[in-house]
A and B are shown apart, each in its own frame.
Chain A
Amino acid sequence: MISKLYIDEAVKDYPAVGSVQESLTALPVFVVSDAVKVHEALTAKQDPIAAGKRVLFLTRNKGSFLKKCPGTKSYICCGYQILHIGTYCTMDCAYCVLQAYFHPPVLQYFVNQERLFKELDDLVRSSIPPYHRIGTGEFTDSLIWEPWTELSRTLVPYFAQQDRVVLELKTKTTAVENLRGLEHNKKTIVAWSLNSPAIIRSEERGTAGMRARLRAAAQCEAWGYPLAFHFDPLILYEGWEKDYRRLVRELFASVSAKNIVWISLGSFRFMPSLKPIIQKRFQKSRIIYGEFIPGLDGKMRYFKPLRIELYRKMAAWVKELAPDVMLYFCMEDQEVWEKALGFVPEDRGGLSRMLDESAARHCRIVI
């Protein structure tokens, strides 16, 4: 629940600020000269990470709105582009990297969207750089902004008018109401991160339940949107096999495989600096006590044979019900691909190409 609204003095006259204020009329408003004032207010709190979720800071993005996904060379990256609409999240997942990524993390929304659309115009018009997939759900959840902003109502029709790039809105919410009736032309993929009810209950505070997410997905499917799902982070715990198998079944009982553009599998990995944060903020969480080893990118990951076993089983359960669905791994190496799926992306033109082709098939983009 947002309890304070901070407005960067430099943006106070932007139209988007007015509309956010209209939907948050009851909140105390503080106009500040810069972000430092907000950071100071948060760092004084006992749990600044939680406090950062309860304030909304309207400001401008001084950097680029389009960013390359921070993949590393050591693992196969999907070549995604991030549309940097804002940062942080109102939900509170134990494993959320954003807790350790920003110092301190603040829920901030960028209102200088004329620049955002300028960058999108450039991208859509030119074929250089040749990106075909963009998502807003990297530094935030794509749909938490729905109650206060017109973001998806603006972005979805924008992408509908072109045929080069798809937009992926990735969420753990059910805030899809604003997507109803929009002209999307299949250029917006609505995606959910999925996990078992046990993990949602213990590790994903404030997120929608598994069935609620699937109901929202089915609703979007009914509105004609292409869908995507991310089984990420997959966590090894007692009973994971039974739970994840059931989750896969529930997914395909809720939506049709033919409307799924892609499904990703990613096992839990974390920056070492996240461990003490989880220990402090989520004292009952056990997710960091698996058999983790330092990966080639410095993040902690499950020891490789454990990942391979997890992926092999997940892939088999998915393929059993949806043999043709585009299934990929988020940040894994050739050995894992080979052992869990029986091929490496290079053999099929590379992961980026495979995803672009799937987007072309489902969303009718030209690649």
Chain B
Amino acid sequence: MKYEDKTISISEIDTKDDTCNLSFRTDPDALIASIRAVGLINPPVLRQRQDLKYQIVCGFHRVMACKTLGWHEIKVRVLLGDLSELDLLKLAIWDNRSHRTLNVIEQAQGIEKLSAHIPFRNRLQMLSSLLGFPQNQKVFEKIEALSRLQGDIQAGVTDEIVSLEAAVDLSEFSHEDALSFFELFKVLKLSQNKQREVITLAQEIAIREDLKPGEVLQSKELRTILDRPELNRNEKGSKVRAYLKRRRFPTLTKAEERFSKKLKDLKLNERIHLTPPPYFEGGPYTLRMTFRSMKDFDERRKTLDAMAKNPALRRLLEPFE
């Protein structure tokens, strides 16, 4: 690749042209401090467009840092010859990858920018080696999905507010709905699985009730949970999930609540636990008892005898009546 070293006026650079910009949220302060201390070590690489303005290919942040420092002129490397947009993008990517790995959002942006220039049949292979992700169709689809998200949520992925998998789920929603989830996750800081559970529950409630997923998250009950100052983040998270589950599975939740109520009538103590079959589908009930001594054992036995005679047990075993 041929180039020419030049000093040009910063005003000749079109800093709004981000065709080749891939870096997502780097720390400008450190770069400004470094340039202030030792000057610009690596000149940015530019291309002169037909309108004679310069387009940045490598070194967006360097140019912006120099601009912030009030420089009027800058030493640059201007590419010579007729280069395609694909060549320029490749150069920008390799420049970034020469000193760091790209994060998933940058990979997503790379996929978005490069895809139009790469034949469909070679796409996975070329993009994975250029952008540095595993050559796997599923991984590719997930990263590609991230490019559909708004900047706030993309930032949420790199800041680990939204898990990658949850972000992929959110990419299927409208921007408005995706933002509603994002706002909720900012407050609750849920694990990946719990984020996905919340997304699935809210989405399915929305389908069942002919609403938008964002509207489900705006419900009065859910807002009330979030507004309760006495609850910590984990407690709010559990209550939000329980609320969504209740709304998604009303009959099952009622049966569980009825079971808990009937269980109380049995007056068991904390050393004897009776658990229903999962989902009351027909597996066995489980009775778990703990004891430390013969005396303990005798006491539990008495409790079990009383339980066997208690009509509440029969009622308990008929969860649907």
Contact = CB atoms under 8 A, between A and B. Distances in A.
Chains A and B belong together in one complex: yes
Interface in B239-286: 249-252, 255, 278-283
A293 B248 CA distance: 12
Interface string A276-317: 000000000010010101111000010111101000000000
Interface string B197-211: 000000010011000
Interface residues of A, number: 17
Contact of B251 (A291, A295, A335): A291
Nearest to B209: A289
Given A303-B255, A305-B320, A294 B278 contact: yes
B52 to A, nearest CB: 45
A40 to B, nearest CB: 14
Contacts of B281: 293-296, 301, 304
A301 B249 CA distance: 13
Contact of A303 (B207, B279, B283): B279
B204 A291 contact: no
A291 B253 CA distance: 10
A208 B241 CA distance: 43
Contact of A304 (B207, B249, B250, B280): B280
A145 B188 CA distance: 56
A221 interface: no
Contact of A335 (B204, B250, B282): B282
Contacts of A308: 320
A303 B249 contact: yes
B251 A306 contact: yes
B279 A294 contact: yes
B174 to A, nearest CB: 15
Given A304-B279, A304-B280, A304-B282, 7 more contacts: A286-B208, A296-B282, A296-B283, A305-B251, A308-B320, A333-B282, A339-B320
The 6 closest A-B pairs by CB, nearest first: A293-B279, A305-B320, A333-B282, A303-B252, A289-B207, A289-B204
29 contacts: A74-B282, A289-B204, A289-B207, A289-B208, A291-B249, A291-B250, A291-B251, A291-B252, A293-B249, A295-B281, A296-B281, A296-B282, A296-B283, A301-B281, A303-B249, A303-B251, A303-B252, A303-B279, A303-B280, A304-B279, A304-B280, A304-B282, A305-B251, A305-B255, A305-B320, A308-B320, A333-B282, A335-B282, A339-B320
